[in-house]
Structure 1
């Protein structure tokens, strides 16, 4: 089967930052589905792993990355019960296994959902990783609910990115929150408003922007950009007894003491936790993806794809990674095979 991978971590401008390879088609066992991949999405996690997973070394076998995917089930393992051959599916994958930048992929059925019937392959491919991340951060980590939290304030750091785009929609449509999103360029400001943000503020002067808009504090903050880079600002703006959550990690310790006097809670969200550790509730990602598919088919949520490339080739992956590394991507970028 055709695939695109790499043997060493190189700048995306280098000729062998991605290479076209031919691999043996895998066979499913246990709870695995063999999926014929039709479209993929590229996320920041893709280029971060490409940049760091094979530094100062040359792998014997090419590493295949990529996680968001849409495709059709071609074969199933002996223990599969959720899907059958011919089902159209979408998923965000498992960071410990071979990725979706390939014609075929093995994926555990417990982290797979049914593809939204009203969406094209390209539109559906842009959803899984970002929707799972936003859903888990709101409902599993922060434990928000429309009954308790409707009309409370939420500040989203990075509103126009992939996760921010779907997070704005979930916060508005499902939780009824008053959403404040950060953006600075006219096109990103417009995009945040299109996604449903009530207010868009400039991240370069965030405290003044929020307070000049009439909010001394906000009830909740989610960070999709840079935990430590914004930490002092988040600690200042969060309401006493509020909750901050982040997906971005930190190379340096996070100074949690700054939250103590306000009794503020803090949570990490990592979308791959359930699959990496084979948690008892791993099947929750199957259920979440099916719920999101229903919301998309009902028109409650809208797709977030803004750019589509074509072809399972090293050149297409290089172009996609270069775009994401530029830091200017709005919404999601997908590649259709």
Structure 2
């Protein structure tokens, strides 16, 4: 089967950074689905995993952590899906990725594709939607079923125009929160407001000063989707006493957690691969989450964040998508569809 992968971890400009390959088609067993891939999307994690390093691979490494497709075969322990089902999912960091004609995935992290979306629109969603959902509802413990509880509550979403931010804004609004997003360009500000952000502030300027300028003296929740190191001090100043901060971006410097102490602030990480990496007891939560998300999409309450489609799925187009994501300025999601 066709696939796009690598043997060496090289700069994306190198002709060998990503290669068109022909590899064996895998066989499902136990709880695995064999999915015929229709579309994939590119995320920052693709770029991070591919980043230059000395390591080399004897068996080609296939990247890709977002897909939509059709179930071709099921393992003997599968109960959630059958051949012919249209599905969408984000895969696992511990297994081969989705940039191949056929892909194996544990059914417990897969959802039935929203009926109202194309394969490309659906492929734009899983990784970012799972991250946003878990960050808001599992890590920050916001109850999405009680919007009346959050009428007076505020959330600051740092990096609102990216893939995760675009979904987080929509989910936070459904949960009843007043949403303030950060952006630094006119087009990213307009994107945030399009998806429901009540206010936008600049993430290169003092947060608290800007919040006070719109009549907000501090926020109850912060969801950091961009450069935790850069924003640590600003977050500590802007969070309300007994507030909660969740970040998805690892630090590269030591940060002073004591800045949160006097306010009794909760800080928590979100990593959407945790459940699949460790096969946690609640791994099936991601299947349920994607199922609930599909219902919200089909009701028109959440919309896809797709902004660009490339065709077909080959090394040239995957490289192009990596280059775009590496700039750090993409808005929404880039999808690549069809191996034909």
Shorter-chain TM band: over 0.9
Cα deviation for residue 214 of structure 1 reads 1.4
**Mapping 1:155-194, distance limit 5 Å:** 155-173=156-174, 175-194=175-194
* Structure with the bigger percentage of strand: 2
User: 2:38: which partner in 1?
Assistant: 38
| Mapping for residues 191-210 of structure 1, pairs under 5 Å | 191-207=191-207, 208-210=209-211
CA offsets, 1:110-161, max 9 Å, x none? 0000000000001000010111001001111111123533331100000000
Mapped contact 2:148–2:176 kept (Cα < 8 A): no
Q: Distance in 2 between matches of 1:116 and 1:3?
A: 26
Q: Provide the C-alpha distance between the structure 1 equivalents of 2:63 and 2:306, rounded to a whole number of angstroms.
A: 20
Partner secondary structure for residue 63 of structure 1: strand
Q: What residue number does 2:134 align with?
A: 136
246-255 or 221-230: which moved more?
246-255
2:150 pairs with 1:149: yes
Residue 23, structure 1, aligned to residue 23, structure 2: yes
Structure 2 residue matching 1:324: 3-state secondary structure: helix
User: 1:329 matched to which residue of 2?
Assistant: 330
- Aligned counterpart, 2:316: 315
Query: Aligned to 1:91, which of 89, 92, 102?
Result: 89
Q: Is the contact between residue 149 and residue 176 of structure 2 (CA under 8 Å) also seen in structure 1?
A: no
- Deviation digits for residues 45-103 of structure 1, max 9, x if unmatched? 11011105xx1132112110101000000000000000000000000110100000000
The answer to whether residue 253 in structure 2 is matched with residue 230 in structure 1 is no
What whole-Å deviation, never above 9, does each CA across 1:165-194 have from its counterpart, x for those lacking one? Answer: 000000002x11000001111111110000
Distance 1:246 1:209 in 2: 21
- Cα drift, residue 251 of structure 1: 2.3
Deviation at 1:107, TM superposition (A): 0.2
Whole-Å Cα distance in 2 between the matches of residues 245 and 84 of structure 1? 37
Structure 2 Cα separation of the partners of residues 206 and 76 of structure 1: 52
- Superposed CA offset, 1:5-25 (max 9, x none): 111111111111101111000
- TM-score, normalising length: structure 1: 0.97
2:304 — aligned with what? 303
Q: Distance in 2 between matches of 1:93 and 1:224?
A: 20
Map of 2:255 onto structure 1? 254
User: Which ranges in structure 1 are unaligned for 5 or more consecutive residues?
Assistant: none
Q: What is the deviation of 1:226? A: 0.9
Larger deviation: 309-318 or 158-167?
Answer: 309-318
* Aligned-pair CA distance for 1:206: 3.3
**Secondary structure of the corresponding residue to residue 73 of structure 2:** strand
TM-score, normalised to structure 2, is: 0.97
Does the aligned pair in 1 maintain the 2:155–2:219 contact within 8 Å?
yes
Name the SS for the 1:6 alignment partner.
Answer: strand
Q: Is 1:101 the counterpart of 2:102 in the alignment?
A: no
Whether the 8 Å contact between 2:40 and 2:335 is mirrored in structure 1 is: yes
Does 315-324 or 146-155 show the bigger shift? 146-155
Distance 1:206 1:63 in 2: 42
Shift, 1:312, TM fit: 1.7
Residue 267 (1) aligns with residue 265 (2): no
The residue correspondences of 1:216-227 to structure 2 (distance < 5 A) are: 216-227=217-228
Q: Is the 8 A contact 2:109 2:286 kept in 1?
A: yes
Q: Show CA shifts across 1:244-278 (max 9, x none).
A: 00000112333211100000000100000000000
C-alpha distance in 1 between matches for 2:49 and 2:55: 14
